Structure 1
């Protein structure tokens, strides 16, 4: 296995472990995957690590499912890697359940031998657009 393939397998395993931590609603485990400067970008704006983790710690934000669908796209640039994939999850926030399907991009940097996420970006998945795109590829 090439070095790049090894890194890709490491990142896929890391993504699975992170998803398990999300479903366990364990803020400390979730935070261990993030660099101190981590932020998440969504349609609601930019939120820093501590803001996100505080929602988890308080129980205001929980997940009952979280999984990658299909094959992830992973690009490696030395000590930086970008992982993009489709994620299906069920979140609970503000007393409401949200069944989400979204595109997620995570930017990782390798520090002291460990991959840490510095940025996560999520955007809603558009099923109609995806169907149209797949039909054009036939």
Structure 2
């Protein structure tokens, strides 16, 4: 496999993660992530699973749409990563939000199931083109 070949199971994992996030259901989201999942954002830096799920569970943050187009991936034993471009819309603190980001999700196989252990977001800047 080359870095740019995206295994079908990773595309399916990313699609399931997107559906869980727009459901705004912390139970569905929890099934996609490890107990020690970290979300790294440009605004807040590393955010723990409990903190992000708490914000979603409280209704402070909600997602209406979320898409990702994977462009690079790698699988090594029980660890896999996928990077791509993602867009999402929703609300934060009652205000509309939208994002255009490069997203890297790192997955770990736990008890035979792949779960995301780290999500890293990097904003796309105007005029920036994805490379490599």
Q: CA RMSD in A?
A: 1.9
- Give ranges in structure 1 of 5+ residues lacking alignment: none
Say if 2:82 is the partner of 1:83. Answer: yes
Q: Report matched runs for 1:1-138 at 5 Å.
A: 8-43=7-42, 44-69=44-69, 71-130=70-129
User: TM-score by structure 1 length?
Assistant: 0.85
> How far is 1:129 from its partner?
2.1
> How far is 1:130 from its partner?
1.0
CA distance in 2 between counterparts of 1:124 and 1:108 reads 21
Tell me if structure 2 keeps the 8 A contact 1:91–1:100: no
Aligned residues: 127
CA distance in 2 between counterparts of 1:64 and 1:104 reads 18
- Between 1:57-66 and 1:121-130, the stretch displaced more is 121-130
Find the residue that maps to 2:82 and give its secondary structure.
Answer: strand
> How far is 1:103 from its partner?
0.6
CA distance in 1 between counterparts of 2:84 and 2:107 reads 14
CA distance in 1 between counterparts of 2:78 and 2:59 reads 34
- Give ranges in structure 2 of 5+ residues lacking alignment: none
Structure with the larger RCO, 1 or 2 (CA within 8 Å, 6+ apart): 2
